Amino acid sequence: MKRLWIFFLTVICLGQMMVVAGTTQAADWCQWNKNPANIQPTYQPNNQRLILLNKSREVVQVVEDHLILSDFYTVDYSPNCRYLVGALGKDGQFDTVIWDLESQPARRVSVFEQSYKYGHSVEWSPDSNYAVVGGREWDDLLYIADGRLVRLTNEIVSDCERHSSGCGGHLYAHNGLFWHPELNQLHITLTDGNVAVIDLSNGQPIDFRGPQFEVLPVEKATLLRERMASPYGCTPIVQYQVYNQRLILRSLTRGKVVDVVQSSLLLKQYRFLGWSPNCNYIAANIDEGKGLVTAIWDTRSNSRVAELPATHKGRYAFDWSTWTP
């Protein structure tokens, strides 16, 4: 009898260990991105279900069952590997579905129906909180947390007093969309030539009337893109204009003044020391008549954020590892 109880308790413990081992986390799907042989979505027509198989052909998770499909293919994974995007084909049309794989069981986050021949295009924000889903004549911005959609191809009307550079325009579908990976911003080209910049860094629902939305001239928005993508490093060119007494940013390609970092700046000495590694800050040794200092500006807000004692070692270049914003 005692041996029977020991056997019974052993079976229960093993069962609990198997349940824990079978729980899936986002790290599991990241393995799929690094090595497609690890975990792979597969549709089983006989069982009418979508599953995840590991390299040993074992079922890791049942994503969805009771599915009758003529075709299936994987569109994409989110950057954090938590969400799977798949195209479900039937009668020559595809529904694009986004699943949350960490949910137990996996659940549909959003569905985009009836795309001809291929699934919809999906572009993720760097933090996986948003996705731009594109059709033939439209683009929707999806807020993952609650499934809310914003149609990006409709007219955007902004506050003319707050956004003096432009009061809106129609969006181009498919082109003119740009994710800024470092700032977590979505840039959208407007038909009036300006660029709508949506700040998605706070993970909140989109409000085109709120502070996270801004309309910028195309030159200003281009700077944000070029700084992280230029083969020349951080752009544009930083210049101090003696006659205008101002520190400016000049376009590397067009030669135009695209931004004024600081005006009313009368200097006796000036030496540019370089851009920060993330291309957000610039440093220069300056003397405003009070002695030589190392000044640092934030080019996103065009504000001077630090003044440090100038050193002999840093007379030609600034060591960014010694300063924290």
User: What are the pLDDT digits (tens) for 306-324?
Assistant: 999 998 887 888 999 899 8
Say yes or no to pLDDT of 304 above 60.
yes
Stretch 26-32: mean pLDDT: 51
CA atoms of 226 and 316, how far apart (whole Å): 24
Q: Is 138 helix (H, G, I), strand (E, B) or coil?
A: coil
CA atoms of 152 and 168, how far apart (whole Å): 12
Q: Is 19 helix (H, G, I), strand (E, B) or coil?
A: helix
So what's the pLDDT on residue 65?
Answer: 92
Alpha helix (H) residue ranges in the chain: 2-22, 26-34, 218-229
DSSP letter for each residue of 46-73: TTTEEEEEETTS-EEEEEEES---SEEE
Strand partners, 44: 49
Does residue 137 form part of some domain? no
Q: What is the mean pLDDT of the chain?
A: 75
So what's the pLDDT on residue 24?
Answer: 47
Say yes or no to pLDDT of 75 above 50.
yes
Quote the percentage of the chain above a pLDDT of 90. 22
Closest of 22, 96, 18 to residue 60, by C-alpha? 22
Say yes or no to pLDDT of 298 above 50.
yes
Stretch 97-115: mean pLDDT: 88
Most confident of 7-16, 137-146, 265-274: 265-274
Residue 299's CB: how many other CB atoms inside 10 A? 21
Stretch 18-29: mean pLDDT: 44
CA atoms of 102 and 88, how far apart (whole Å): 20
So what's the pLDDT on residue 297?
Answer: 95
pLDDT bracket for residue 245 (50, 70, 90): very high
Does residue 94 form part of some domain? yes
CA atoms of 54 and 62, how far apart (whole Å): 12
Sheet (strand 39-44) strand order: 39-44, 49-54, 59-65
Does residue 57 form part of some domain? yes
So what's the pLDDT on residue 212?
Answer: 60
Does residue 215 form part of some domain? no
Helix count and strand count (H, E) for the chain: 3, 24
Threshold 0.95, pTM exceeds:
no
DSSP one-letter code for 320: G
Quote the percentage of the chain above a pLDDT of 70. 65
The structural domain count of the chain equals 2
**Structure tokens that stand for 76 in this block:** 């994409």
pLDDT bracket for residue 155 (50, 70, 90): very low
Q: Which residue's entry shows tokens 């956004």?
A: 163
Does residue 168 form part of some domain? no
Mark which of 119, 134, 157 sits at the end of a domain.
119
Does residue 144 form part of some domain? no
Q: Is 228 helix (H, G, I), strand (E, B) or coil?
A: helix
Mark which of 119, 138, 155 sits at the end of a domain.
119
Which residues, other chains included, contact 250 with Cβ-Cβ below 8 Å and sequence gap of 6+? 236, 237, 238, 239, 256, 257, 258
Sheet (strand 121-124) strand order: 121-124, 130-134, 139-143, 148-151
Does residue 84 form part of some domain? yes
More confident residue, 30 or 313: 313
Interval 260-280: pLDDT, tens:
999 999 999 999 998 887 778
More confident residue, 220 or 251: 251
So what's the pLDDT on residue 282?
Answer: 92
Does residue 67 form part of some domain? yes
Q: Which domain holds residue 34?
A: 26-119
Mark which of 65, 93, 119 sits at the end of a domain.
119
CA atoms of 169 and 176, how far apart (whole Å): 13
Closest of 153, 144, 148, 150 to residue 208, by C-alpha? 150
